[in-house]
Homo-oligomer: A and B are copies of this chain.
Amino acid sequence: MKGIPPATVNRLPLYLRCLAECDTQTVSSERLADLAKVNSAKVRKDLSFLGSYGTRGVGYDVAHLTYQIERAMGLTKDWAVAIVGIGNLGSALAAYGGFSEKGFAVLGLFDSDPAKIGTSVGGRKVEALSKLEDAVKKRGLSIGVVTTPASAAQEVADRLTAAGITSILNFAPTVLHVPDGVSVRRVDLSTELQICSYYLNSVSAPT
């Protein structure tokens, strides 16, 4: 499943979500395109990378296409996730039901604040950051989610990568530098608000 273009990879979770909203057994590329707000030629092209071409006049089988996307995305495996920085955002993510549904098990919550260590968040105890290395090994943690303040994020990323984590999801508003072979994705919570702004503006603008 190597070699799926990054833009297609970025759209696959969207298709999954749209498929989950379908209450039919099959779905046409036009219907899926409409739900995903992507054009239908792009939907067909994206799905062709999974070897999925649908049936002429019928469309795609919803359950099978869901499975194909999940397999391509590695979602048929379980991934163990560590969250570092248990403030409001880290706590919200720790308790977020949507992760376990998709096969992400949050198996470690870490913070450096002694007042937080030992408290329970989303049913799991917060641990000291010094326990990270051991937890990565023993629990097979493979994705590190960084929800610290920006000022602490690089140090945390260094510890995560030193402990063997090769995939980091960064919510801190800063650019992280990591060794080759480690992938970092940055989530900017203001992105979606900016897109809202565009649509509000294009309605209210006289142009």
> Which residues on A are within 8 Å of B, measured CB to CB?
1-2, 4, 6-7, 9-10, 12-14, 16-17, 21, 37-38, 72-75, 77, 79, 81, 87-89, 91-93, 95-99, 101-104, 142-143, 145, 166-167, 169, 173, 175, 183, 185-203, 205, 207
A1-B207, A166-B203, A192-B185 known; A198 vs B9 contact (CB < 8 Å): yes
B193 touches A37 (CB 8 A): no
- Nearest residue (CB) in B for A87 is B92
B194 touches A73 (CB 8 A): yes
Separation in Å of the A19 CB from the closest CB of chain B?
A: 13
A167-B200, A199-B167 known; A91 vs B88 contact (CB < 8 Å): yes
Separation in Å of the A98 CB from the closest CB of chain B?
A: 5
A193 touches B104 (CB 8 A): yes
B98 touches A6 (CB 8 A): no
Which one of B72, B91, B189, B197 contacts A75 once the chains associate, using CB atoms below 8 Å? B197
Separation in Å of the A132 CB from the closest CB of chain B?
A: 18
Contacts of A73 in B (CB 8 A): 194-195, 197-198, 201
A202 touches B104 (CB 8 A): no
Contacts of A192 in B (CB 8 A): 169, 185, 187
A-B pairs with beta carbons under 8 Å apart, 26 shown:
A1-B205, A2-B205, A9-B198, A13-B188, A73-B194, A73-B198, A74-B197, A75-B194, A77-B201, A79-B193, A79-B196, A81-B193, A88-B88, A93-B189, A97-B173, A98-B173, A99-B190, A99-B193, A104-B190, A104-B197, A142-B200, A143-B196, A166-B200, A167-B196, A167-B200, A183-B196
A13 to B195, alpha carbons, bound, how many Å? 8
- Nearest residue (CB) in B for A42 is B7
A185 touches B190 (CB 8 A): no
